[in-house]
Amino acid sequence: MNKKEVLEIRKQFSPQNCAITRLCGCYVNGDKEKKLEFKEAFLSLPEEEAFKYFDLFKKTLSGTVGKNLINMEFPLEQEKSGGTQEFLLQLRDSRLTDDMLLSEFYDKVIENYDFAEHYLILLIHAAYDVPGKASDGTEMFDASDSVYDYILCSICPVNLSKAGLCYNAEHNSIEDRIRDWIVNVPANGFLFPAFHDRADDIHSVLYYSKKPEELQDTFLEQVLGCTEVMSAGCQKESFQTVIEETLGDDCEYTVIRNIHENLNTLIEENKEAEEPLELGKQEMKRLFSLSGVPDEKLEDFEKDFDETVGAKTSLLASNLTNTKKFNIRTPDIVINVNPERTDLVNIQMIDGRKCLVIPVDDQVEVNGMEVKVTL
């Protein structure tokens, strides 16, 4: 799913567009025990309560595609009879009315979700009447093309509120505040089936992780049946490894700076595109060549890329660089540079020593104080 498709589903979590038919949940304590199970028609909820659920569901479809929101395809073996895809399809097609299926799903999550504290498993079924589109691209809400049937799972940590004092209006007094178990925003979740080309794609699932480096590998493998997922951090590490393998001992500052600048330029040029920018083997090779990597250093590039990243693997450009920060670090000094002005910092030999050279044309501040630079 791309950003536009994610936003289209997120818009359904409002009173005006609500397509949710059923809400189910299971509260699990730190000992992995089911303390509460519930199910109800979503439209029967009080308005204030429904709004709070809407916020949780929106959070499950938030963040950056490719970092927090990861598109995953089922391996062929999981699409066979008895695979995870079949189970999720049964769950969806039951519209969450089959108690045995729900109980089996909760058990799968509890067994494979690595979390030592309390949490709430929320599961909804929704039927989105997908509007048709006119030739000019405008939506025709009275001309639906199809119905997108889906389930959304949100796994929310539950924490005890902090101790403190509060004002009791009834008694007009300050007293000890009652501590409650508060449902927090989701840490993980998934949407099944994925929403591609304004229709369901039963071969894919969209997975959400609030922390991109904590993907819950066992949960992914055992509950969703998806494996070999490269996190945002792993993608960045792989990218850096490819650079180091390609350049070897000749890892010059100017080349690294050029790679950073050119990559940022590609991201900026692609920011309005529906699909996130991905760099495969050939795209990355062109980036290196454009950035000044000598041809002789690129002779073994494809082999290094295959061994480090994977021959058919692409990396998301947004995971490879920080477009808002350019950091230069030595054992004793850290310099943060405006990414658009990396040209201001150079390395030169001065009196036989390698020096970072930064021209000073404007004001200079030290700990917030403007100082005068004299020679």
Length of the chain: 375
The neighbouring-strand residues paired with 328 are 335
The type of residue at 65 is V
Closest C-alpha to 53, from 154, 181, 125: 154
Q: Is the pLDDT of residue 354 over 70?
A: yes
Q: Strands (DSSP E) along the chain, which ranges?
A: 20-28, 34-41, 69-73, 119-133, 139-160, 165-168, 173-176, 181-183, 188-192, 194-196, 199-201, 204-209, 278-279, 315-316, 326-329, 334-337, 346-350, 353-357, 364-366, 369-371
Q: What is the mean pLDDT of residues 188-203?
A: 94
Pairwise CA distance, residues 78 & 88, whole Å? 11
Stated as kind and residue range, the H or E segment containing 327 is strand 326-329
pLDDT tens across 267-302, in order? 888 888 878 888 899 999 999 999 988 888 888 888
Q: What is the mean pLDDT of residues 121-137?
A: 84
Closest C-alpha to 206, from 354, 72, 62: 72
Q: What is the pLDDT of residue 25?
A: 96
Q: Is the pLDDT of residue 97 over 90?
A: yes
Q: What is the pLDDT of residue 203?
A: 94
Torsion of Cα atoms, 258 then 264 then 269 then 275, to 10°:
130
Q: Which long-range contacts (CB under 8 A, 24 or more apart) does 357-360 make?
A: none
Q: Is the pLDDT of residue 251 over 70?
A: yes
Q: What is the pLDDT of residue 143?
A: 58
Note if the bond before 331 is cis, omega within 30 degrees: no
Q: Is the pLDDT of residue 362 over 80?
A: no
DSSP assignment of 134-182: -TTS-EEEEEEEEEEEEEEEEEEEEEEPPP-EEEETTTTEEEEPPP-EE
Report percent pLDDT > 70 for the chain: 96
Stated as kind and residue range, the H or E segment containing 70 is strand 69-73
Half-sphere exposure of residue 219: CA atoms within 13 angstroms, side-chain side: 20
Q: What is the pLDDT of residue 10?
A: 95
Q: What is the mean pLDDT of residues 227-240?
A: 83
Q: What is the pLDDT of residue 46?
A: 92
Q: Is the pLDDT of residue 84 over 90?
A: yes
User: In which band, very low, low, confident or very high, does the pLDDT at 314 lie, cut at 50, 70 and 90?
Assistant: confident
DSSP assignment of 53-68: HHHHHHHHT-S-BTTT
Phi-psi region of 303 (alpha: psi -120 to 50; beta: other; left: phi over 0): alpha
Q: Write down the residue that tokens 């660089």 correspond to.
A: 321
User: In which band, very low, low, confident or very high, does the pLDDT at 232 lie, cut at 50, 70 and 90?
Assistant: confident
Q: Is the pLDDT of residue 48 over 70?
A: yes
Any idea which of 10-14, 53-57, 65-69, 84-88 has the lowest mean pLDDT?
Answer: 65-69
The neighbouring-strand residues paired with 149 are 127
